[in-house]
Structures are given as C-alpha cells and as structure tokens.
C-alpha cells in the first residue's frame, strides 16, 4: 500500500512511518521539521520537507496514495493559549488545505490524529465517544474543528474520513522542549538527573497514558478499514493513572528517587481523564499491549537520551 504521513517526522509520526516501511509499504512523509527530526526516519521512507498548507507539494505527494495519515500539528496545550492564531492556522488551516489537495488528486481516505483533550473535564469516567466535548484550550478547539472539517468536506468530496482521539501518548523519541515539555519524558529526565519535579496540585489528577506502539497499531488498523467513514474512536490504555502513581512507577523503573515539589494547581485543570476504549476494540480489534510499567521500561531502554542519563551517577 501507499501511505502519506503529514507530520511524519514527529514523535508518533516516525514510529508509524518506520513500522509501515518495515512492513514493506511505500511511505511518504511531509513535515516542516518545526518539531520533527528526519534523522529518526527509516531510510526507506521518502521524506519531503514542507508545510502541510503547501498545496502544490501535496499534489505531487498525494499521487496514488491509498491512505493519508494527518498528524502535522502544533501540539502544546499551554502554548496554544499564547498563540491561538498560529494553532488555528496550522491545525485547522492545514487540515482544510490537505482536504482540498486530496479532492484535487482524488485521494480516497484520511485518518486524523485527534485528541482526548477534547473531552476536557467530565464527571463520568471513563469517557466514551458519545460525551459532549468540553473545550478548554485553543488546541482542543483546533482538534475538534479538524475533525468537523474532515467529516464535512469528506462527505462533499467523496473522501472516507476517520478520527482517532489519542489520549496521552508516550514512548521513546518523544520531544522534550524546554518550554512545555510533555509529562512522561519530563518526569523521566528530571528523576534520572536527580532534580526536582514540579507537580501542579496534589498529584491526584489522573490521565490515560498510552504507549506509542499501541497508538501505531490503532492507526494502522484504522487505515486498513473501508467501513469507518465518519467515526471518531478513542485510543488510550483504558487505565486511569494519577501523577503520584506515575512518579512511583518512574522511581521503580529508574531505581532513582524522585523529588516532587507540589505547587498550586493551574487554573482550568482537568481532574480526571481516562478513555473508554470499547469502540476501538469493537471496530479496530484494538487492545493495548503495554502496561505503563512496561512502556516506561521500553522508553528507558530504547531512548538513547535516557540510556545516557541512566549510565551517569546521580550527583
């Protein structure tokens, strides 16, 4: 099969690209490298540096593509509050530009990487796909708008569209930017360095951490099905984990003590979030394979930044 992955040099994108290439498929990636790293891609993946809103580039890349995975996006929740226009331009504008280009080339199917953050704060957990969104950041707004666009334009243009609402993905190779780093690699690196961890609130807030290879399984399964047009599907581990429990597991797998400092809760904080993955199991045969402890161990083993830190003594 022929695949195009937008944002394919990013964290999830490169795990997906490399898996598909290893399975013998033709894989093309477009990524502007604003957050991605093309060196992490398998040499069989055809990489093009470019913006997902660059339609002439998309027209060339979309030729004879069976499935488009749309992952190119800006991904920080707090940053999206500071720069909402940029998030709208890339996450919403990029999706519309891609759909127009797919119409021009008659590309048949799109799988969107949407987000569980769309659910916001819900009393009843786990959340299933019927729950009304509770949009708390411009990032969440942009992801829901991207879903609406793929479904609405998909109907007009004859493009099959499916959105996977991914919860907190983690694993080797996840970026660790100095501003707004994702929680798992941040806690791992701080613990390995013997530094302190800042926890906002009492640490009892929960999330659903899903290992990246499980997310890749779901993306591949969704791309292969021709009967999912219009579906939104949660992809998580289905397990609710508090920050305090996550820190405990990190201490266990690293063998090092974490020094947690508890700070005031951030406003608009979501107390609990865990995915009901029943629909993913029914429609995709999805069953998360890795527990959080297994996923954290694999992340330590396979990510050379953490291997290097683990080899150093704590000062």
Binding region for ligand NAD (CB under 6 A): 6-7, 9-13, 30-36, 51-52, 71-75, 90, 94, 113, 115, 166, 168-169, 175
Which structure tokens are listed for 314? 């704590």
Q: How buried is residue 75: exposed, middle or buried, by Cβ count under 10 Å (0-12/13-18/19+)?
A: buried
Shortest Å, Cβ 254 to ligand NAD: 21
- Closest approach, Cβ 243 to ligand NAD, in A, equals 15
* DSSP string covering 220-242: HHHHH-SS-TTEEEEES-S--EE
Contacts 24+ apart (CB under 8 A), 86-90: 87/138, 87/139, 87/142, 88/138, 88/141, 88/142, 88/145, 89/53, 90/52, 90/53
Using left for φ > 0, alpha for ψ between -120 and 50, and beta otherwise, residue 127 falls in beta
* Catalytic sites, residue numbers: 139
Minimum CB–partner distance for residue 292 and ligand NAD (Å): 14
Residues 6+ apart with CB under 8 A from 122: 131, 134, 272, 273
- Closer to ligand NAD by Cβ: residue 34 or 152: 34
Q: Based on CB atoms, which residue is closest to ligand NAD, 189 or 262?
A: 189
CB of 157 to ligand NAD, least distance (A): 21
Asked if residue 136 lies in contact with residue 270, where contact means CB atoms within 8 angstroms, the answer is yes
**Of 176 and 314, which CB lies nearer to ligand NAD in the complex structure?**
176
C-beta closer to ligand NAD: residue 34 or 263? 34
């Amino acid at each position: 099969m022929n695949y195009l992955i937008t944002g394919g040099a990013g964290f999830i994108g490169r795990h997906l690209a490399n898996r598909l290439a290893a399975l013998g498929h033709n894989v093309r990636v477009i990524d502007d490298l604003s957050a991605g790293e093309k060196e992490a891609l398998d040499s069989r993946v055809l990489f093009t540096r470019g913006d997902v809103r660059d339609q002439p580039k998309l027209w060339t890349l979309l030729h004879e593509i069976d499935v488009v995975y749309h992952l190119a996006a800006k991904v920080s929740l707090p940053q999206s509050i500071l720069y909402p226009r940029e998030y709208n331009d890339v996450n919403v504008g990029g999706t519309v530009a891609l759909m127009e280009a797919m119409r021009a080339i008659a590309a048949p199917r799109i799988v969107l990487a949407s987000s569980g953050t769309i659910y916001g704060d819900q009393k009843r957990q786990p959340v299933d796909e019927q729950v009304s969104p509770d949009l708390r950041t411009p990032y969440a707004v942009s992801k829901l708008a991207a879903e609406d666009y793929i479904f609405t334009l998909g109907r007009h243009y004859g493009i099959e569209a499916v959105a996977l609402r991914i919860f907190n993905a983690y694993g080797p190779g996840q970026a660790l930017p100095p501003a707004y780093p994702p929680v798992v690699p941040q806690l791992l690196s701080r613990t390995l360095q013997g530094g302190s961890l800042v926890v906002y609130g009492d640490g009892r807030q929960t999330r659903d951490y899903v290992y990246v290879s499980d997310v890749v399984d779901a993306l591949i399964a969704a791309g292969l099905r021709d009967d999912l047009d219009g579906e939104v599907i949660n992809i998580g581990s289905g397990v609710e984990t508090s920050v305090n429990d996550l820190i405990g597991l990190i201490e266990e797998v690293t063998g090092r003590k974490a020094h947690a400092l508890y700070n005031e809760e951030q406003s608009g904080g979501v107390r609990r979030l865990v995915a009901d993955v029943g629909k993913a199991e029914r429609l995709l045969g999805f069953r998360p394979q890795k527990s959080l402890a297994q996923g954290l161990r694999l992340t330590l083993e396979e990510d050379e930044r953490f291997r290097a830190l683990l080899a150093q003594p704590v000062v």
